[in-house]
Amino acid sequence: MAEEVNAPVGREVVLTPEEVKIMRKNWGKKFVEQKDGTFKCRACGETILAVRVAHPIWDGPFPCSGSGRCWYELVPYCPKCDEKPGPHGLPIAPKGSYHNP
Ligand SMILES: [Zn+2]
């Protein structure tokens, strides 16, 4: 599972691209797609909102290092059941980088 590291900002969880894919699959269990292309919460029926989250890409050869690039994704959440995700996502370590050799 995701690796936890001591980053300058504190303890951080580093995700691999595979783990990002698994997270995306889990969204499919939680949200139900409607005919018009929107999603509703499986638990409460509320329309799903999304927030743009920036994941720093840690593709450097040293701990917590990267080129400064970010990977942006739209993270869906239920306004009733979930807390609104923050704009700063977890770092992602691509294959071949320090955290994902
Ligand atoms: Zn809900």
- Residue 28: pLDDT band (50, 70, 90) is confident
DSSP string, 9-78: TEEEEEBPHHHHHHHHHHHHHHEEE-TTS-EEETTT-PBPEEEEEEEEB--SSSTT---S-EEEEEEEE-
Residue 67 included in any domain: yes
Q: Tell me, in angstroms, the distance from the centre of ligand 1 to residue 28's CA.
A: 13
Ligand 1 ion: residues within 5 Å (CB)? 41, 43-44, 46, 78, 80-81
> Does any domain span residue 90?
no
Phi-psi map region of 8: left, alpha, beta (phi>0 left; psi -120 to 50 alpha): alpha
pLDDT for residue 26:
86
In a domain, 83, yes or no: no
- 89 within a domain of the structure (yes/no): no
Spacing, Cα 88 to ligand 1 middle (Å): 22
**CA dist., res. 56 & res. 66, Å (int):** 8
* Calpha distance 99→63 (Å, rounded): 7
For residue 40, tell me if it sits in a domain.
yes
Q: 50 Cβ partners below 8 Å, 6+ apart?
A: 74, 75, 76, 77
Q: Domain for residue 13, yes or no?
A: yes
pLDDT given for residue 48 in this prediction: 94
pLDDT, one tens digit per residue, over 31-86 is: 999 999 889 999 999 999 999 999 999 999 999 999 999 999 989 999 999 999 99
Q: What is the mean pLDDT of residues 15-38?
A: 89
Domain carrying residue 24: 3-77
Is 101 among the domain residues? no
Domain count across the chain = 1
pLDDT at position 1 is 59
- Evaluate whether residue 96 is within a structural domain: no
